[in-house]
A and B are shown apart, each in its own frame.
Chain A
């Protein structure tokens, strides 16, 4: 069982470069999420998608865009990376009715 798969696991960018984090889930979940984890800040929601075709901003959406490509896939794009976006990014999907999230292994991004 793959669960939630994120790529890449590690990435180093220069300020101003762009990149896309990919995420796919095989649990047939409707809703998917992107979080970032920073020391002392916990997990903060960037964007979420309640269902295919819909996306909404979370707590910290500035500097990011998302695409819900289909029910399985939810990508996160940094158009012009900034050092403040150095973080560990987690994609997740949710089991409906319980609030239980299933997370990917994370993508560690460093912006120089």
Chain B
């Protein structure tokens, strides 16, 4: 049972345009939603997160939108740059003293110069 789903394995975008990566989840108990970026031969690195009490969080070129009623979140990258080419993982966690973080399968973004 995949609780966090990324249905698009890959996405190609022209440099300067907007990249939109999507993620769906099934567990309504998730409290935090996060996006991680991964380059080949490196560990994933945290990009941006959003709490379940918010519907938008922005950090520079990156914005995450959360639609709780639809159990859907998206990551917008504007403008996209070639250095953004990587695999992006959506993740979700609960609250408490520790969190079990569940990941989606990832979307490989290619930004074409």
Contact = CB atoms under 8 A, between A and B. Distances in A.
B43 A42 contact: no
Contacts of B44: 43, 90, 101, 103
A50 to B, nearest CB: 4
Interface stretch (B13-21, B71-79, B101-109): B101-109
What does DSSP make chain B's interface, helix, strand, loop or mixed? Answer: loop
Classify chain B: how many residues form its interface, as a range: 20 to 34
A106 B42 contact: yes
Interface residues of A, number: 29
B99 A94 contact: yes
Nearest to A9: B41
A40 interface: yes
Contacts of B9: 40
A83 to B, nearest CB: 22
Interface of B: 6, 9, 31-32, 34, 36, 41-46, 49, 89, 91-93, 95, 97-106
Given A42-B103, A42-B106, A98 B49 contact: yes
B98 A31 contact: yes
Contacts of A90: 43-44
Contacts of A106: 41-43
22 contacts: A4-B43, A40-B9, A42-B105, A45-B101, A48-B98, A50-B98, A51-B98, A90-B43, A94-B98, A96-B97, A96-B98, A99-B49, A99-B92, A99-B93, A99-B99, A99-B101, A100-B49, A101-B34, A101-B44, A101-B101, A105-B42, A106-B43
